[in-house]
Amino acid sequence: MIVEPRLVEYLNSLETELPPHLAKLEAYALEHEVPIIRKEAQSLLRFFLELKQPKKILEVGTAIGFSASLLCEYMPADCHLTTIEKVPMRIVEAEKNLAALKRSQDVTFLTGDAEEVLKNLKEQGNQYDFVFMDAAKAQYMSFLTHILPMLPSGALLITDNVLQEGSIVESKYSITRRDRTIHMRMREYLYELKHNECLTTSIVAVGDGMALSVKR
């Protein structure tokens, strides 16, 4: 954990309870060890939804649909969410969970390799004013290539899990060999976010680290 655990526990204790259907889905994910957005990161997402009041949201990485359900719960009434997942086992759960939402008609669920799906969305001329990325970490740079053209000026890109439990500061030689590729690619991604002339980015130690980028 990046932030002192007692501090995180205290801040999370201040949060209002999730609606029952989200609380149930969160409990299921924790019980079955499905990675979902952490409570403190949930709060930040809700804050930016209220601040930005987006019309079109794109989520890369649906998993079982928890974060999509969270976005759908708190997004404006005239907003539409498009979310992408490729893992067959998770697709089955996500389809069930998204279909049960009160606003299921405002959700488009796309399946398949995220890079291919993003490429198709880009070629179709889609634009999104709010993007939440929480998928295969080693592919973030590839995803960004397709996402950037779909961001109008002022659009917000939120990328989750960018600090890798704090290991992002370590030398690649201190990282286990199987994790080195993700480690190096995440560092490359964060450098790109901070130095790309099209973006203004702040990286915050919330949850497992979130990068907040605005399209100039």
pLDDT tens by residue, 31-75: 988 889 989 999 999 999 999 999 999 999 999 999 999 999 999
Residues in the chain: 216
pLDDT of residue 164: 73
In this structure, are residues 66 and 37 in contact, taking their beta carbons and an 8 Å threshold? yes
Q: Which domain holds residue 24?
A: 5-215
Give the CATH number for residue 181: 3.40.50.150
CA 169 remoteness from chain centre: 21
Tokens of 151: 């961001």
pTM for the predicted model, two decimal places: 0.92
pLDDT tens, position by position, 9-39: 888 899 889 999 999 999 999 898 888 998 9
pLDDT of residue 91: 95
Residue 4 — pLDDT band, cuts 50, 70, 90?
A: confident
pLDDT tens, position by position, 101-121: 999 999 999 999 999 999 999
pLDDT of residue 174: 62
Q: How many domains does the chain have?
A: 1
Strand order in the sheet with 199-204: 107-111, 80-85, 56-60, 130-133, 156-160, 210-215, 199-204
More confident residue, 214 or 183: 214
Place of tokens 């889609």: 126
Give DSSP secondary structure letters for 6-73.
HHHHHHHHTSPPPPHHHHHHHHHHHHTT-----HHHHHHHHHHHHHH--SEEEEE--TTSHHHHHHHH
pLDDT tens, position by position, 151-199: 999 999 999 989 876 566 566 656 666 666 777 888 899 999 999 999 9
Q: How far apart are CA 207 and CA 211, in angstroms?
A: 11
